[in-house]
Amino acid sequence: MLVTGGAGFIGSVTTLALLEAGHDVIVADDLSNSSKHAIDRVESLARESGAAGDLEFHELDARDDAALHDLFASGHITSVIHFAGLKAVGESVDKPLDYYRVNLGSTVSLVTAMRDHGVRDLVFSSSATVYGPEAQSPLREDAALSTSSPYGRTKLFIEQMLRDVAAAEPGWNIALLRYFNPIGAHPSGLIGEDPRGIPNNLMPYIMQVAVGRRDELVVFGDDYDTADGTCVRDYIHVLDLADGHVAALHAIDRFHGCQAVNLGTGTGHSVLEVLAAATAAVGKPLPFRLGARRPGDIAVTVADPSRAAALLGWSATRTLNDMCTDAWRWQSTNPFGYGD
Ligand code: NAD
Ligand code: UD1
């Protein structure tokens, strides 16, 4: 099978899970936001665990039609997981065209190559960001969709594009997986999240405070209508998320066209709860202060995960403490990530 973006945070952990489940995996990644070291580490972890699948890596841009054609022409690809894309909400506001070019362009090229080579099974990385602020948590897949950033719009447009593709021609099985807040790392401590620049997201920021790369965490707002006043999110261990992809792939025949499925735990945690769990995992106080709200944030975002349980036979099992312990093992042994 083909995994685009397989060197990235979620892609690397999922590639390992796929190899361990016995799949042969071809990773296509241009390394624009990742490191070849991640692939080397996936390969050695797979070998250590006696994984049955084989890994092949191609450094390529997922918009390169000719390179995609050559990959599919090998005849070994029967299904695809499409992680490749740009994902920083703030950056997408400053550079919208980059987001439309990469996220939409890569999907158009990939799905065209799939169609041309008779490959019809696709798992796509969507996001809980497609649920509009008016939608009420726990969020079901049929909640109102709208989004406020160019990044979010690329996910909404791609979801719609894939629905159109599936409607136009029978035989497609397309899973739109809407991730909630993936955090944590592989429990080996060898593969994890390695953001470039100042992290936008909560857990990588906390972890960089913990290793001394940042002075303090700023909690964005403590006057929300929640138990402790800070925002509540559905954090999910990246290993659970990876297992969710393996489950989606195994259940892909049940999609009959194109369907969306939430990948979340169904349980929310506030910013202060995450900070407390991370502090316990790190074993020392982590400096923080309460600050202003971040524009665009909403008080509570939590998944209704029941469709994933029914359709994929999958539910998340790992706790917030597991997520923090694994994130800390990764960050403390790799304080500067992959170091390149
Ligand atoms: P990531 O940046 O770590 O991984 C994306 C990978 O795609 C990187 O390895 C990057 O080098 C590669 N890539 C980017 N443009 C490419 C191109 N044109 N051709 C080939 N490879 C390219 O991000 P991630 O956190 O692993 O996210 C994976 C997917 O999940 C993304 O589509 C993202 O939008 C989506 N998602 C992520 C989150 C999250 O919180 N991390 C939440 C919801 C959805
Ligand atoms: C953000 C994006 C979302 C994207 C997701 C994963 C926004 C508005 N939303 O979600 O579209 O799919 O990341 O990439 O950007 N927080 C702090 N201090 C920090 C960082 C975060 O208090 O330094 C708080 C935030 O206000 C939020 C919570 O921590 O309440 C989680 O933030 P984050 O990790 O950025 O995820 P989301 O905002 O849920």
Q: What pLDDT sits at residue 75? A: 80
| Ligand 1 contact via 208 beta carbon (within 6 Å) | no
- Considering the entire predicted model, what is its pTM? 0.98
The two beta strands, 217-220 and 232-233, are unpaired
Q: What pLDDT sits at residue 340? A: 78
Q: Is the dihedral of CA 136, 140, 146, 151 positive or negative?
A: positive
| Ligand 2 contact via 89 beta carbon (within 6 Å) | yes
Residue 17 confidence (pLDDT) above 90: yes
Average per-residue pLDDT for the chain = 97
148 pLDDT band, cuts 50/70/90, is confident
**Closest to 129 in 3D by CA, of 203, 82, 181:** 181
The two beta strands, 232-233 and 269-270, are antiparallel
- E runs forming strands in 202-304: 217-220, 232-233, 235-237, 257-263, 269-270, 288-291, 300-301
CATH architecture of 2-333: 3-Layer(aba) Sandwich (3.40)
Six-digit token string for 337: 């990530």
Indicate the top mutation candidate among 234, 294, 300 to test ligand 2's pocket, ranked by most ligand atoms within 8 A of CB.
294
Q: What pLDDT sits at residue 65? A: 98
339 pLDDT band, cuts 50/70/90, is confident
Residue 157 confidence (pLDDT) above 90: yes
pLDDT in tens, 64-109: 999 999 999 988 899 999 999 999 998 999 999 999 999 999 999 9
**Closest to 245 in 3D by CA, of 323, 182, 171:** 182
Distance CA 125, CA 14 (A): 12
Choice among 99, 131, 151, 205 that is catalytic: 151
151 pLDDT band, cuts 50/70/90, is very high
pLDDT in tens, 282-336: 999 999 999 999 988 999 999 999 999 999 999 999 999 999 999 999 999 999 9
What percent of the chain clears pLDDT 90, i.e. is strictly above it? 95
Q: What pLDDT sits at residue 132? A: 85
Locate the domains of the chain by residue range: 2-333
Ligand 1 geometric centre to CA of 300 (Å): 24
**DSSP bridge pairs for 106:** none
Distance CA 15, CA 7 (A): 8
**Whether residue 99 lies in the annotated active site:** no
Distance CA 110, CA 131 (A): 25
| Ligand 1 contact via 123 beta carbon (within 6 Å) | no
Q: What pLDDT sits at residue 144? A: 93
C-alpha distance from residue 10 to each of 29, 69, 81, 196, 294 (Å):
13, 25, 11, 15, 25
pLDDT in tens, 213-259: 999 999 999 999 999 999 999 999 999 999 999 999 999 999 999 99
